[in-house]
């Protein structure tokens, strides 16, 4: 696993979906310590995913 070869201990990702639910990309956050993503991180991921979907379609 690539993440194990870095200083990062955790990651969180959000798929970028097309209007017909096809995965177009993913947006990822990487953390240097273990734990759950914050509510603000989850909101940023969801907002970014929606924006990228609109830009790609």
Distance CA 56, CA 15 (A): 13
Would you say residue 2 has pLDDT above 90? no
CA triple 29-34-12, angle to 5 deg: 25
- pLDDT confidence band for 1 (50 / 70 / 90): low
Q: Where are the beta strands (DSSP E) in the chain?
A: 10-17, 23-31
Domain range list for the chain: 2-56
Is residue 28 predicted with pLDDT exceeding 80?
yes
What are 50's two structure tokens?
A: 């929606």
pLDDT by residue (tens digit) across 43-53? Answer: 999 999 999 99
User: What rounded mean pLDDT belongs to the chain?
Assistant: 91
Q: What is the mean pLDDT of residues 29-35?
A: 92
Under the banding of pLDDT at 50, 70 and 90, the label for residue 57 is confident
Q: Compute how many other C-beta atoms are within 10 angstroms of the C-beta atom of residue 15.
A: 14
């Amino acid at each position: 696993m690539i993440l194990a070869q870095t200083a990062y201990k955790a990651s969180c990702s959000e798929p970028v979906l097309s209007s017909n639910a096809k995965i177009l990309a993913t947006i990822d956050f990487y953390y240097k310590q273990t734990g759950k993503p914050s509510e603000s991180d989850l909101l940023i991921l969801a907002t970014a995913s929606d924006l990228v979907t609109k830009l790609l379609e």
